[in-house]
Structure 1
């Protein structure tokens, strides 16, 4: 399983709760789209994650900025991801970033609100914030390989999940 989080705004440890905590601890890969806030929070995520891909956010302290890039590209389960924090580029700019990196998915945060939408030739995915949803729903994302289940072309099935574990929205990554 791949767990995607953002905007945890943790100050001492990962400060995860509910299903988000379980999902990070169970995940083979954790993707964090920024705003750990400080080195203690980043250390806590590294301690509970088998493999962590993270970027720093606009609220990161210098020690986090020294340890993480502002954006990165990686591949998991045959899906190419671009990870960034800010969504100030808008859908067009995020789609362009994805195309420039030959990505299937652009993961971003910053708004604290979950979203999944089709950009130009790329899926745009914001996991929201489980900690501070700013008037929205406390969420994270869980991705699982489909292994060719039920004749689908999808490589990953995805769910945006509420902190209580309920599914807010389902989607597929082809």
Structure 2
């Protein structure tokens, strides 16, 4: 399973709770789309995760920006995932980035709005924010591999699924 989070905006801890914490602890891969804020928050995520990948966001301190790239691409269970915080990306540049990376899934954050959108070429996922929803529902996402991609779920912190989607490979 893959767990996807973003926009923690914490000072000292990962700010996970309920099922979101369990989802991070039990995931084979945790993807964070930026805005940890401090290095101790990044370290807290790394310590809770079996395998962790993240990118720096626009609110991240310099030590995080030194440790994490602005964008990255990973593969897991046959799914190619491109990751960017999203603050420097327009709709067009996000699309170009996803296509350049041959991504099945593009993960972004920044807006704090949980959403998913599919195109003919890739699926765009913003997991929202589990800790600073800013008028949106607190959320995170999970992905389970299938024979031809994965099934995704946008979840509330207690694990209640409010949107399901598929990602094709």
> Into which bin does the TM-score normalised by the smaller protein fall?
over 0.9
- Following superposition, the deviation at residue 90 of structure 1 comes to 3.3
Q: How large is the Cα RMSD of the aligned pairs? A: 1.2
Which segments of structure 1 move beyond 6 Å, counting only runs of 4 or more? none
After TM superposition, list the pairs within 5 Å mapping 1:59-138 onto structure 2.
59-138=59-138
Give the direction of change, closer, same or farther, for the CA distance of 1:119–1:94 in structure 2 (3 Å limit): farther
After TM superposition, list the pairs within 5 Å mapping 1:12-31 onto structure 2.
12-31=12-31
Q: TM-score, normalised by structure 2?
A: 0.95
Gaps of at least 5 residues in structure 1 are 149-153
Residue 43 (structure 1) aligns with: 43
Residue 166 (structure 1) aligns with: 160
- CA deviation profile, 1:66-122 (whole Å, cap 9, x unmatched): 100000011111111110002553333211110011111110000001110023511
SS state at 2:50 partner: coil
Whole-angstrom distance in 2 between the partners of 1:126 and 1:166: 17
Whole-angstrom distance in 1 between the partners of 2:119 and 2:86: 16
SS state at 2:66 partner: helix
Would the aligned equivalents of 2:3 and 2:143 in 1 still touch at CA under 8 Å? yes
Q: TM-score, normalised by structure 1?
A: 0.92
